[in-house]
A and B are shown apart, each in its own frame.
Chain A
Amino acid sequence: MALSPAVFQADNLIWQVPNKRILDELSFSVAQGEFVGLIGPNGAGKSSLLRCLYRKIIPSSGNVEFQGQPITQYSAKSLAQKIAVVLQEPPSHFELSVMDVISMGLTPHKSLLSFDTQEDRERVIRAAKDVDLEDKLDQLFNNLSGGEKQRAMIARAIVQQPSVLLMDEPTNHLDVRHQLEVLSIAKQLNITVIVSIHDLNLAAAFCNRFILLDKGRIIANGSFDQVLTEQHLLSVFGVKAKIDQHPFHGGPRITFDLGAN
């Protein structure tokens, strides 16, 4: 463990709202360069956990350390320089161009009064190239397809130059190809990524570590073999699962059925 310092270190993380404990004594750590998949049924606490990591939520008790320091000690700006977040945002009524949206990633690095320099603009264009959107910079963000929007949000995150990327269900509502694209772009960044994801096969293809949540608790945490077992899938998701080899990449493949037998 000492070799690669923990990016995130959570100890006994609890977050509760009146009458309900959403996150229940979570302890885990994420090391530099890991691609972590947060999995679990709806309402398991995946989004809430991510929110604790980007400090939208301050936990009721327990600690989150980011790069060796309590996350509460960072200023909002310095945290935003290190952690980028890709969210499912409600559609905006305002007609921002793709360029405008991607340029927002500059915000944590710019003082309020400064203007965007040539260098900033080049950074934005490079990020757009990385996600294959450079010919759509002048289009309206609202007119993009779901996959393109998600890619634009990743480009915004790239412009933020973070050391950690958090993504909350980035593949929802996307077709198969776009799902794969979004995650492989994230993978190519070579930074620490934590992604909440519903599609277990997709998670299996990209993540090298898995945290399985259910009702606010960590059920399993580790490699594919430790986490995505047939027993866990039955007890947490209530599905019968069969795991065999993926015919293309040789990794694991999960097949589900509701059947109880």
Chain B
Amino acid sequence: MFKGFKQQGFSLQYTALIVGSVLLLLFTLLFATASGSVELSIAQVFDALFCTGNCSNSEIEQKIIIDIRLPRILMAMITGAGLAITGAILQSITRNPLADPYLFGISSGSALGAVIVMASISTAAISLTLGALVGGAFSVALMLALAGRSAANIERLILAGVAVSFMLSAFTSLVLYYSKPEVAATLLFWMMGSFANSQWSELSLPAVTVVLGLMLFVFFRRWLAAVQAGEESALTLGIPVAKLRLFILIICSAITAVLVAHVGGIGFVGLMIPHISRFIVGAQIHRILTMCVLLGATFMIWVDVIARSLLQHQVLPVGIVTSAVGSLFFFIILRSRSQKDI
């Protein structure tokens, strides 16, 4: 991917933006690892990560950094990057600036799966994650089946997705309505998103899915760029538009389903980070993707930092903070931009 930048012609501004974003992400990583209910210094974070011989950290500090904070921060990073690139690609392929990873009812499918697991199978034989994963996959399958042959028509596909979304939400509400109050509370918290339960062992599936998805998006970047300028003209450039779209939709659904299953429904990131990235770097697919990875990851880590430090002894659901912080941020950008245009 990085070879592409050089060959796109040297652009000082773009290079500076990328370097700046990378530095911001690195700083965010260190800062987020150091901050929390147990205050640690950035030097201690370095120590915990790279120290081999005599380390200054106590065993408990080491444990906090390695076992509690890092997996959580990495999960936030993967989630932010994954949702942002998925949103960016969905917006391009549907040529709809309002498209986001939850467009096809994946989050409601995952929620239903999780709710059913929690409400009916009290033993932890099947994990909530697995239930959510199956639910998300089910919603995508249902949408494709409903759309049927008209899956080539993007409007119908979106409508089918919206219908599936409402249907599954209704079932989720029904199960919630009849479940015990403490189960309902747990579920609601899960649905609003949280990185609290992240563990090293859970990171691999989201990480692999997001990286594979990113590689596929980069691979198809020429075609995606042409499709975002117009479907019929993309066709005249020899691009199998309908097949490409279906394939990309399935990839996006897979990424979203895996992420939702692990961290719950986190809105805004997939919708707005792509727009912010586009504001900054223009409409070239590989540039948007790079910016989405960096900004999405940075943004999500900050959201998690805010969520666990805003109220003492209490962690706010990430989804609430994302939407609140994000929309504020977006208003500012929108305002400054419209002033520039006039």
Contacts and interface: CB of A to CB of B under 8 A. Distances in A.
Contacts of B95: 92-94
B226 to A, nearest CB: 5
A89 B237 contact: no
A146 interface: no
Contacts of B28: none
A75 B282 CA distance: 32
Contacts of B240: 76
Given A92-B95, A112-B219, A121-B9, A76 B239 contact: yes
A89 B232 contact: yes
Interface string B5-22: 001110000000000000
Interface residues of A, number: 37
B62 interface: no
B228 A56 contact: no
Provide the main secondary structure of the chain B interface. helix
B236 A100 contact: no
A83 interface: yes
B53 interface: no
Which of A75, A104, A110, A141 has the most CB atoms of chain B within a 10 A radius of its CB? A104
A112 B222 contact: yes
Which of A54, A76, A79, A121 has the most CB atoms of chain B within a 10 A radius of its CB? A76
Nearest to A74: B238
Nearest to A75: B238
A109 to B, nearest CB: 10
B238 A81 contact: yes
A242 interface: no
Contacts of B91: 94
A235 interface: no
Nearest to B286: A115
Contacts of A101: 229
Nearest to A94: B283
Contacts, number: 92
B247 to A, nearest CB: 13
A116 B228 contact: no
Interface string A21-32: 000000000000
A116 B228 CA distance: 19
Contacts of A93: 95-97
A160 interface: yes
Contacts of B228: 92, 94, 96
A170 to B, nearest CB: 13
Interface in A25-68: 54, 56
B23 interface: no
Contacts of B229: 89, 92, 94, 96, 100-101, 104, 141
B236 A83 contact: yes
Q: In the A-B complex, list the 7 residue pairs whose CB atoms are closest, starting with the nearest.
A: A80-B238, A85-B236, A89-B230, A77-B238, A76-B238, A107-B237, A94-B283
25 contacts: A56-B236, A76-B238, A79-B238, A80-B238, A87-B232, A87-B236, A89-B229, A89-B230, A92-B95, A93-B96, A94-B97, A96-B225, A96-B282, A96-B283, A104-B226, A104-B229, A105-B237, A112-B219, A113-B219, A115-B4, A115-B8, A116-B8, A117-B7, A141-B229, A153-B233
Given A80-B237, A92-B229, A104-B233, 16 more contacts: A54-B235, A76-B235, A80-B236, A89-B229, A92-B230, A93-B96, A94-B95, A94-B278, A100-B225, A100-B283, A101-B229, A104-B225, A104-B229, A107-B226, A108-B237, A141-B229
Interface of A: 54, 56, 75-81, 83-85, 87, 89-90, 92-97, 100-101, 104-105, 107-108, 110, 112-113, 115-117, 121, 141, 153, 160
